[in-house]
Amino acid sequence: MARRGMAKKERQKSLMDRIEKDPFVTDEELSELFSVSIQTIRLDRMELGIPELRERIKNVAEKNYSRVRSITGKEIVGELVDLELGKRGISILEPDSTMVFEKTNIVRGQFIYAQAESLAIAVIDADVALIGVANIKYKRPVRSGNKLVASAEVVRKRGNKFFVWVKIKLKLEEVFRGKFILVAMDE
């Protein structure tokens, strides 16, 4: 992949390709990948006109919010970065210091649950959907500053009930999983 001592033009082309494949890659991850400083990555991005991670996430998310039927975009916890209504969705949350227990810097469970719940509701192809049953499991602690990627999948639909599985990962490790039964309500 990337090699040490890569020429600037070559690095910038590889950087563009990498961000195009994964718009959610961090400057820190790119710095490690290309064996250069974070500042070098930031300068490369600026030269290439590539916005910072938050802006890239926001741009992708804005396209998806308008497709959600059951809740408004601002009610989704995290940034909705992918949505196939009635099938699947992905959101990203970067917990900050307001979401943690002061003593341990561990993210409070309600924020992780809220990300999973709001994503599960967002993927439902219904005007109103409520959680009927939730079977959840927290698998490991999460700290402020970690990037949580939640993926939801509608695994079954029976009448007005939707069975949605949500997995939240930190890098490649699963930190939370939830199996939800949502009930679509007629307004």
pTM check: above 0.75: no
DSSP lists the bridge partners of residue 130 as: 183
User: pLDDT tens, 127-137?
Assistant: 889 999 999 99
The answer on pLDDT for 185 being more than 90 is no
- In this prediction, residue 110 carries a pLDDT of 96
User: pLDDT tens, 117-171?
Assistant: 999 999 998 888 999 999 999 999 999 989 999 999 999 999 999 999 999 999 8
Domains of the chain with CATH codes? 8-50 (1.10.10.10), 64-185 (3.10.129.10)
CA distances from 91 to 18, 117, 131, 149 (A): 20, 11, 18, 6
Give rounded-to-5 percent helix, strand, coil for the chain.
Answer: 35, 35, 30
Do the beta carbons of residue 107 and residue 144 sit within 8 Å?
Answer: yes
Do the beta carbons of residue 122 and residue 67 sit within 8 Å?
Answer: no
- In this prediction, residue 102 carries a pLDDT of 93
The answer on pLDDT for 4 being more than 60 is no
How many helices (H) does the chain have, and how many strands (E)?
5, 6
CA distances from 102 to 21, 82, 110, 127, 144 (A): 37, 32, 15, 38, 10
